[in-house]
Amino acid sequence: MRLMIIQRSFFLMVGVLAYTATATAQSPGWAEAMFEEKNHDFGVIARGAEATYRFKITNNSNQQVHIANTRTTCGCTAARPSRDLLESGESAYIEVSMNTRKFTRKKDSNLIVTFDAPAYAEVRLPISAYIRTDVVLTPGMVNFGAVAKGTSAQKVIDIAYAGRDDWKILKVETKNPNITAKAVEKERNAGRVKYDLVVDLKGDAPVGDLRNQLFLITDDTNSPRVPVLIEGRVEAEITITPRAVSFGVLTAGGNKKTVNVVLRGRKPFTIEKIESESGNAAYQVQLPKTTKPVHVLPLSFVPSNKPGKFAETFTVTIKGMAEPIQFTARGEIAAATAEK
């Protein structure tokens, strides 16, 4: 009898723990809590303008999160995730774009993100915009593409207006100190006005992605500000992808995991040495001996028997470069599950 009571207590405890784990994974709001923003309003935008917004999502749980699907409730919008699998602590973006060429005036939509791990959930994020018909941008954004560090660049956009004879762009506002812009009037005739928007990227702009907006300040009474998207990338002589390596969650004492780190140069280069900040022997990386424009470095990590988070900084010395470049690696070692 005593044995039966112990067995029943054991199975009851297991059932409670299993229910608790499931309830935690499926507790209301766990998926929504991963989003920094819960909605987005593009405001008043010009026809033909590239209107995109990135919803940032961060896996703040200790489980793997999988995005099963992203969709929108209006043909005026489209969405795509930068990645669909997030380890604990990792972030991603779900980019939403508004079709300003086919659709005009007030548009409302919803981004619906469906998760199937660690539990099923749906998150609905409202999106809105007003696409004005009197101002048209061609092309719809300022895209500098890839620009080498130390190099200046210029882009020109056509602005066409149809309406008042005396319509004017009073000034152009940009908050990025590395970008200057001006509107140059080209034509004015019978209610139609044309401008060139001239945008310059300074040669001393720092390395990194460009994702900003500038604003055309017009003399319109109701909607004087017209946003224009700016994108591009200032590249160093040598770039590293990814700059932050994630090994995810590994099992204590388990098999090693390998992630490729890619170094790209504008011309062939030689890697002289790769050093880790701590000299931890759990990391393994092979130094390439060739000279070429692209090097793929397989970086491996062998998890120890001790659970916990780990992080490391690596310094790569390039022959002929005064300053080395760095990348980081991180992850977590989880305790091994005892076999029954």
- At residue 20, the pLDDT reads 38
Query: What pLDDT score was predicted for residue 11?
Result: 42
pLDDT at residue 236 in the model: 83
Whose CA is closest to 329, among 273, 287, 277, 267? 277
CA angle (209, 215, 220) in 5-degree steps: 165
Task: Identify whether 118 is preceded by a cis peptide bond (ω within 30 of 0).
Answer: yes
* pLDDT (0 to 100) of residue 261: 93
Q: How far apart are CA 193 and CA 317, in angstroms?
A: 55
* Confidence at residue 93, expressed as pLDDT on a 0 to 100 scale: 93
Report how far Cα 96 is from the mean position of its chain's Cα atoms. Answer: 12
pLDDT of residue 12: 40
What integer pLDDT is reported at residue 339 of this predicted model? 54
Beta bridge partners of 295: 263
pLDDT tens across the length of the chain (340 residues): 444 444 444 444 434 344 334 334 456 588 999 999 999 999 999 999 989 999 999 998 888 899 999 999 998 999 999 998 998 888 999 999 999 989 999 999 999 999 998 999 999 999 999 999 999 999 999 999 989 888 999 999 999 999 999 999 999 999 999 999 999 999 999 889 999 999 999 999 998 889 899 999 999 988 899 999 999 999 888 889 888 898 988 998 889 899 999 999 888 999 999 998 888 888 998 888 899 999 999 999 999 998 999 999 999 999 988 888 899 999 999 987 765 4
Closest CA to 187 of 171, 165, 170, 172: 165
Task: Specify the pTM.
Answer: 0.66
Terminal alpha carbon distance of the chain: 24
Tell me, what's the pLDDT at 14? 39
Predicted local confidence at residue 7, as pLDDT: 46
Q: Tell me how far the alpha carbon of residue 240 is from its chain's centroid.
A: 16
**pLDDT reported for residue 27:** 60
**pLDDT (0 to 100) of residue 29:** 86
